[in-house]
Copies of this chain bind each other. A is one copy, B any other.
Amino acid sequence: MATPANLPHPTRADLDLPSVLFALSDPERLDIVRQLRSGPLDMADCSLRVPDMPKSTKSHLMKVLREAGIIRNEANGRGRRLTLRSEDLEARFPGLLPAVLDAPVQ
């Protein structure tokens, strides 16, 4: 129950469409992905819709995104750096991420 220096990430070839779509199908998770569009973000800096979300819940959201291969989650000082895996997603599912990110927010 630690804070492992590095978490497992699927390789590009392992990306699975249903898992990716599922991870993106939650508004809260989708919102995180939208924030990462303009570049990596420290986990502490990414704002959630739910104001006082417990950290275990927040961590779980990130886990779903990471395990689907949508974000990379790396240790960075005391915290965590989140990066959108745009290139991997584009290589495996061309056009998918842009279509999702360009979709109307409401």
How far is B91's CA from A28's CA once the two chains are assembled, in angstroms? Answer: 24
Total interface residues on A, using CB and 8 Å? 21
Contact A100 B30 (CB under 8 A): no
Question: What's the minimum C-beta distance from A88 to chain B, rounded to whole angstroms?
Answer: 13
Contacts A25-B21, A25-B22, A30-B18; A99 near B103 (Cβ below 8 A): no
- Per-residue 0/1 for A40-84: is the Cβ within 8 Å of any B Cβ (1 yes, 0 no)? 000000000000000000000000000000000000000000000
* Residues of chain B lying within 8 A (CB to CB) of residue A95: 95, 98-99, 102
A94, B100: Cβ atoms closer than 8 Å: no
Cβ of A103 and Cβ of B98 under 8 Å apart? no
Question: Does A9 lie at the interface of the complex (its beta carbon under 8 Å from any beta carbon of B)?
Answer: no
Q: Which residues of B contact A24 (CB under 8 A)?
A: 18, 21
